[in-house]
Amino acid sequence: MIPFTPDGLVLPVAFLLDFFIGDPQFAHHPVRYMGRAIEFFEARFRRLPVPLTVSGGLFAVFLILGVWGLAALLVGGAHLVSGTLGAAVEILILYFCISSRGLSAAAFEIYGLLKTGDLASARERLSMIVGRETGGLSETGASRAAVETVAENLVDGFISPLFFFLLGGAPLAAAYKMVNTLDSMVGYKNDAYLKFGKVSARIDDVANYIPARLSAPVIAMAAQLLNRRGMAAFRTAVSEGRQHSSPNAGYAEAAFAGALRMKLGGPNIYHGRQVDKPYIGGAFGDVIAGHIPKACDLLELAAFLWFVIIWYAGIVSRVWGG
């Protein structure tokens, strides 16, 4: 049987690679190929003689199943050659699916620019990692955007991939990565993608539903260890996690808001349109640049705790499964 469940050194080695190296930035990164596949097949599926919502749904399902099937073939074929090669392939796939250190490094870079007073460069760098328009952001707005992307991407870039790895090994983690990439590329509520990207956005909402909610207690545990604000983080997540235009993003953001006593959310501009989001942690003060490194510390500790939880859950599932 092909060992798709977490086993041996696959998870810890992938985690250590991400922690010490971060997300590798090179032309042949698998996520870049996912993006190219999305661009290649979008026009072809748009030409199908069916409503755009239907063609967009077929497009999303085709790509998600395609990535899962390709990853399963790679892992299965490698295991047929040897267990060591199979484990190495699983490690690489999982490593490419997770990103905590890379996100932390990007946020720290923005913090460094803000600390030196280079708001213009901070805005430009921020535009590479957030969806909102950054050209008119104040220092507070830039700091808030950096903290929010750290909180939200803890789920997208780490908690969800490991959750699906636990359920279905590296192939399912890779399939989730395609789900997330689809949402980031076609899941917009604008004229071009409102219909075609609707199914992609809904699949992403469903995929992140459980991981987003599991993030709250994990962030709370990390907050308790860092600054003894675990209960504040958890209470804010429970009471204000729904106060977000996304059905999932608010839980991690609210936990961060409670842990660091800062106000997140509020109106932002996306693709030329103002989106009035409610505030999260409205009882707290505005975000300042100094919150960014604290948010990164919270991210990294929460990621480590989630890694331990998933690794232990994998061991327990193997023992119970015989």
Helix (H, G, I), strand (E, B) or coil at 6: coil
Tokens 């075609």 belong to which residue?
196
Rounded CA separation 219/256 (Å): 7
Task: Give the list of residues 6+ apart from residue 147 with CB closer than 8 angstroms, or none.
Answer: 107, 256, 260, 262, 264, 287, 291, 292, 295
**One-letter amino acid for residue 196 of the chain:** F
pLDDT digits (tens, 9 = 90+) for 53-90: 999 999 999 999 999 999 999 999 999 999 889 999 99
> What share of the chain in percent tops pLDDT 90?
77
Helix spans in 47-82 (H): 52-81
pLDDT of 318 above 80: no
Tokens 């808030």 belong to which residue?
144
pLDDT digits (tens, 9 = 90+) for 166-216: 999 999 999 999 999 999 999 887 888 999 999 999 999 999 999 999 999
Asked if 123 and 271 count as a contact pair (C-beta separation under 8 A), the reply is no
Rounded CA separation 285/298 (Å): 18
Which H or E element spans position 125? Answer: helix 119-126
Confidence of residue 254 (pLDDT cuts 50, 70, 90): very high
> What share of the chain in percent tops pLDDT 70?
97
Asked if 232 and 259 count as a contact pair (C-beta separation under 8 A), the reply is yes
Rounded CA separation 189/135 (Å): 21
Asked if 163 and 313 count as a contact pair (C-beta separation under 8 A), the reply is no
In degrees, to the nearest 5, what angle opens at C-alpha 212 toward C-alphas 211 and 216? 105
Confidence of residue 244 (pLDDT cuts 50, 70, 90): confident
Q: What is the pTM of this model?
A: 0.93
Q: Based on DSSP, count helices (H) and strands (E) in the chain, helices before strands.
A: 12, 5
pLDDT of 17 above 70: yes
Helix then strand then coil, in percent of the chain rounded to 5, is: 70, 5, 25
Cα dist. 261→225, 254, 314, 317 in Å? 16, 10, 34, 37
Min mean pLDDT across 12-26, 229-243, 283-297 is at 12-26
Asked if 295 and 266 count as a contact pair (C-beta separation under 8 A), the reply is no
> b or e along 111-133 (b: 16 or more beta carbons within 10 Å of the residue's beta carbon)?
bbbbeeeebeebbebbeebbebb
Residue 74, phi then psi, degrees to nearest 5: -65, -45
> b or e along 142-176 (b: 16 or more beta carbons within 10 Å of the residue's beta carbon)?
bbbbbbbbbbbbbbbbbbbbbbbbbebbbbbbbbb
Give the largest CA-CA distance in the chain: 59
Rounded CA separation 231/219 (Å): 10
pLDDT digits (tens, 9 = 90+) for 102-156: 889 999 999 999 999 999 999 999 998 888 888 889 999 999 999 999 999 999 9
- Sheet strands side by side (includes 285-286): 279-280, 262-265, 285-286
Asked if 289 and 114 count as a contact pair (C-beta separation under 8 A), the reply is yes
